[in-house]
Amino acid sequence: MRAVGYFRETKSRGLAEQSESFLEFCKSNGFEAAATFLDPGSPPEAPGFKQMLEFVRLQGAHGFLLVAISDLMNLGSGPTEAVRRYFQLASLGVPIISLNDEADLPSDLLRIWSRSRSNGSVGERVKAAMRQKAVRGEVLGRPPYGYRVGLRRRLVIVPVEGSVIRYIFRLYLKDGLGIRRIARRLNDEQLRTRKGGLWSMVTVRDILRNRAYVGTYSRFGVRVPASHRPLIAQEDFQRVQERLDQRRPVGEARRMSPFLLSGITYCGYCGNKMIGVTRKQRWQRRSDGMTRMAQYRYYQCESRTNRSLCDYHTRRAVELEEEVRRSLKPGGSRTTKTAGNGALAAGEAEAQIRRLREKAKRLDRRLEQYLESAVSGRINQDKLRSLGVNLASEQLQVEEQLVESHKLAELRASEAERRRQRDNALHRLHENWNALAFGERRELIRAVLDRIVVKDDAVEMVFKP
């Protein structure tokens, strides 16, 4: 018989440990390990559990499957959720066993529910556990580049990434390279970020500032020194911080001159953003020897600025902003009115979601009533299973309907509201361009335009739908 394992990470047992126990269990009992589904932490959407349900639906009827779990509470973040998921699996006709040979899952249902009634709020216990994890240095969230989450939720060095971190610090501290040149060096040497992307000045700077590389874990305003193995010596890290601070003297305010189209302007050649750049130039006239000064503002490809990739593509700020202003004229397909039933359709979708959520809550309350009846002896375990399985089938249908309703609601609401806001913003820009304050003008432009694609000889305005 083939076995499927499902495991959630807990403070007492990590995913790796549970997976190893599952493989040993299969080996000892003569089962074939067909698949393992995992949910790190306690995500409310539980993608691993949903994937397992789909796998069981497709394979269970003809695959002689059973599902193995660590224990009943490992199915959910609380008693109600754990019991609900147990019955959802049971409703698909698949046997459920525990890696603990002595566990009796049907009896565990009643013991867990009886115990939960006297232990206070589940939510409060979860929050307290999260705070305790932070104090102990256990990782919450995505680990920094150079580390992964290991046993006991501690940061563990990833050898290849760790070498890149040491390389970055060496280039900055020993070789004297600036942040921009380090990003260029990494990209030239075909080194990539964790997601396979290119390095930028911002990414390099954040790494140089991150105290995780000296072994300090920081979360929720709490610092835990020596919580994991460091990649950088404390004295080297401190020297890097001092050098970074010297780049901008303490107390010196940097005057930023904002650009109207920053954030939505893209290079038409490499696809990366174009950023606003201000340059001051001084020169001396030969005719009279007088010193002259001028300031230039333009948009420049970020790849060239941060990564030294792409060519020197620029566009004067005044010229580009004026071209955008001329393009923002009402009329034509860009200002098509929102269909009359758009808002109504969006409202109906939202109402459907509210109905489904209320139904899900009612089903959970019914499940809790069944559990109360079983604990008090008014119904036996066989009756509880029968009621629970029937209820679970209905719960699965509600969850599937909620997923589809959310997709539909997002589509309809965003379409109707975006069109209304876009048309209003377009009208205000056209009528009041010069009277609008800079910040308001910029927000209105972003409400209308999705992006501006700039080439040396052309500008393409991409309007929001």
What is the per-residue pLDDT for 157? 93
pLDDT-derived band at 137, boundaries 50, 70, 90: low
Residue 27 pLDDT > 60, yes or no?
Answer: yes
pLDDT-derived band at 304, boundaries 50, 70, 90: low
DSSP 376-444: TTSS-HHHHHHHHHHHHHHHHHHHHHHHHHHHHHHHHHHHHHHHHHHHHHHHHHHHHTTTS-HHHHHHH
Share of the chain above pLDDT 70, in %: 82
Q: Angle CA(117)–CA(120)–CA(125) in degrees, nearest 5? A: 125
What is the per-residue pLDDT for 239? 92
Residue 394 pLDDT > 70, yes or no?
Answer: yes
Give the helix ranges, DSSP H, for 150-294: 159-173, 179-188, 201-209, 234-246
CATH of domain 136-246: 3.90.1750.20
pLDDT digits (tens, 9 = 90+) for 354-365: 888 888 888 888
pTM of the model: 0.43
Higher-scoring residue by pLDDT: 177, 447: 177
Beta carbons of 208 and 240 less than 8 angstroms apart: yes
pLDDT digits (tens, 9 = 90+) for 312-329: 778 899 999 998 888 887
Higher-scoring residue by pLDDT: 62, 419: 419
CATH superfamily of 2-119: Resolvase, N-terminal catalytic domain (3.40.50.1390)
Residue 142 CB neighbours (<10 A): 9
Higher-scoring residue by pLDDT: 232, 72: 232
Backbone φ and ψ of 311, nearest 5°:
-95, 180
Q: How many residues make up the chain in this entry?
A: 465
- Give the domain ranges of the chain: 2-119, 136-246, 269-333, 335-432
Secondary structure tally for the chain: helices H, strands E:
14, 14
Lowest-confidence region among 18-27, 188-197, 229-238, 276-285? 276-285
Higher-scoring residue by pLDDT: 337, 455: 455
